[in-house]
Amino acid sequence: MKKMSEVKSINLSPGEMYVLNTNLTDKPKQEVEFLQKVNEDELDDSEFVSTKIEDTVKYYDVLPNPIKYTNNKYSNYSVTLIDVNPRMCPEGRTVEFRAVQAARTSYGANMKSIKDDNNLFDYLVRNQHTSPLEFVNFTFRVDCPIYVARQIMRHRTFSFNEYSLRYSSVKQEHDEIVDFRSPHICNKQSSTVKTFKDEILTKMINDHFDETYAIYDLLIEADVCKEQARSIIPVGEMTTFYASVNLNNLFKFLRLRMDEHTQKETRVIAHMMSLGLQEVAPIAYNSFNKYMINSYTLTVDELRALLNDEDYKTDSKSGLHEFNKKKQDIMNKIKS
Ligand SMILES: Cc1cc2nc3c(=O)[nH]c(=O)nc-3n(C[C@H](O)[C@H](O)[C@H](O)COP(=O)(O)OP(=O)(O)OC[C@H]3O[C@@H](n4cnc5c(N)ncnc54)[C@H](O)[C@@H]3O)c2cc1C
């Protein structure tokens, strides 16, 4: 037995052993015995049994082909629903069955009628019993400008992989602003719904990108590496990434990014993702709309003001603004 301090290069051969912890060198015998015991305790493949479970249920592929979503106004934006898990679903059911199946392990029960399954799924979302939702997963391919990708990538519960400008050349395709928006009157980070066109500004933007691409090409021709040449590229340049997420976190993402507080360009991408959700998970999409889009959190004071049609008293200017907005939204939705 050698001490680590005595070893210059480690060449492990069968039967040879090194004591890594020098404090143990006074008890090498016990150490060897301990390691031998661990060896004896190792699990052997032959003690395991695998059984293929017979299933009489007929399954179908919910996504035989990827589905690409585009938008007429944002012509170079797209979201492609690449994959979903589970892909194979029992006939008559959609991907939510997996969440229901996972939830039913809590009661030791399995599949029930489609109606019972749909009711249980709705119950899960209504009561924020969200862990069963994590058994349903989505993979999207997204094409959007870098500044939109940057907002989406703040969502840490997604897994991402993006087109790399270290290895690949700049696509030389940029965001095309068709309609300009003015800043919002009271919300500093937002914009108005009114739009305007300006040919001179549009031409300036296009010229700016053309000039940037010309400099990029010159840098590459001058043997500058791609990872440095990319530093001149504006955030309006288009990028591509893969994004995977489970249903629970997709709900959270869509609630934030389909909301009017989110920049319109990012909402376009979120909306396309929601179309993918609607396609393969219609029950989840309905529950999402019911409990996340068409649902409001109101304090008792807010509720009192709403029901009695009274002024809502608060010292917070933004609190009052948000209450009035919620009230207006609720009234509009009730009437429609
Ligand atoms: C309108 C709007 C404006 C914004 N403005 C800005 C801005 O000015 N500057 C800026 O930097 N960002 C901004 N953001 C980004 C925002 O702060 C969040 O980072 C982003 O929305 C991701 O949200 P999330 O953490 O809920 O999502 P995810 O990262 O997907 O997380 C989903 C949920 O998982 C849980 N979770 C994930 N990670 C953790 C963790 N480490 N610890 C505890 N819980 C976790 C939380 O419950 C979280 O809600 C803005 C977002 C919006 C929608």
Listed in order, the ranges of the chain carrying CATH 3.30.1360.170 are 59-293
Q: How far is the CA of 259 from the centre of ligand 1 (A)?
A: 14
d(CA 279, CA 282): 6
pLDDT above 90 (res 165): yes
d(CA 132, CA 124): 8
Kindly state the tokens that stand for 169.
């050349």
Cβ–Cβ under 8 Å, residues 68 and 54: no
pLDDT above 70 (res 7): no
Return the ligand 1 atom nearest residue 252 CA: 32
Q: What are phi and psi of 144, to 5 degrees?
A: -160, 170
Q: Is the CB of residue 274 below 6 angstroms from any atom belonging to ligand 1?
A: no
Q: What is the dihedral of CA 202, 205, 211, 217, to 10 degrees?
A: -110
pLDDT of the residue at 56: 83
Q: Is the CB of residue 126 below 6 angstroms from any atom belonging to ligand 1?
A: no
Question: In this prediction, what percent of the chain has a pLDDT beyond 70?
Answer: 89
* Atom 30 (ligand 1) nearest CA: 155
Q: Is the CB of residue 252 below 6 angstroms from any atom belonging to ligand 1?
A: yes
pLDDT of the residue at 234: 97
Q: How far is the CA of 194 from the centre of ligand 1 (A)?
A: 28
pLDDT of the residue at 103: 94
pTM: 0.85
pLDDT-based confidence at residue 268 (cuts at 50, 70, 90): very high
User: Is the link from the previous residue into 66 a cis peptide, with omega within 30 of 0?
Assistant: no
Q: How far is the CA of 156 from the centre of ligand 1 (A)?
A: 8
pLDDT above 70 (res 265): yes
Architecture of domain 59-293: 2-Layer Sandwich (3.30)
Q: Is the CB of residue 156 below 6 angstroms from any atom belonging to ligand 1?
A: yes
pLDDT of the residue at 23: 54
Q: Which residues pair with 143 in a beta bridge?
A: 78, 240
Q: How far is the CA of 149 from the centre of ligand 1 (A)?
A: 14
Q: Where are the alpha helices (DSSP H) in the chain?
A: 28-40, 96-104, 114-126, 146-152, 199-221, 226-229, 247-257, 264-280, 282-288, 300-307, 317-335
With the most atoms of ligand 1 within 8 angstroms of its CB, the residue from 147, 256, 273 to mutate is 256
For residues 198-203, give the mean pLDDT: 95
Catalytic residues: 257
Kindly report the number of other CB atoms within 10 A of residue 281's CB atom: 24
* Atom 40 (ligand 1) nearest CA: 156
Smallest Cα–Cα separation from 131: which of 245, 243, 247?
247
Q: Is the CB of residue 261 below 6 angstroms from any atom belonging to ligand 1?
A: yes
pLDDT above 50 (res 93): yes
Kindly state the tokens that stand for 281.
């998970």
Kindly state the tokens that stand for 267.
């909402």
Q: Is the CB of residue 157 below 6 angstroms from any atom belonging to ligand 1?
A: yes
Kindly state the tokens that stand for 85.
């898990």
Return the ligand 1 atom nearest residue 158 CA: 30
pLDDT above 60 (res 310): yes
Higher pLDDT, 205 or 184: 205
Q: Kindly report which listed range (37-51, 79-93, 242-256) carries the lowest average pLDDT score.
A: 37-51
d(CA 124, CA 180): 42
Q: Is the CB of residue 330 below 6 angstroms from any atom belonging to ligand 1?
A: no
Q: How far is the CA of 142 from the centre of ligand 1 (A)?
A: 19
The gap from C-alpha 190 to its chain's centroid, in whole angstroms, comes to 23
pLDDT tens, residue by residue, 236-254: 999 999 999 999 999 999 9
Cβ–Cβ under 8 Å, residues 99 and 212: no
**Helix, strand or coil, per DSSP, at residue 183:** strand
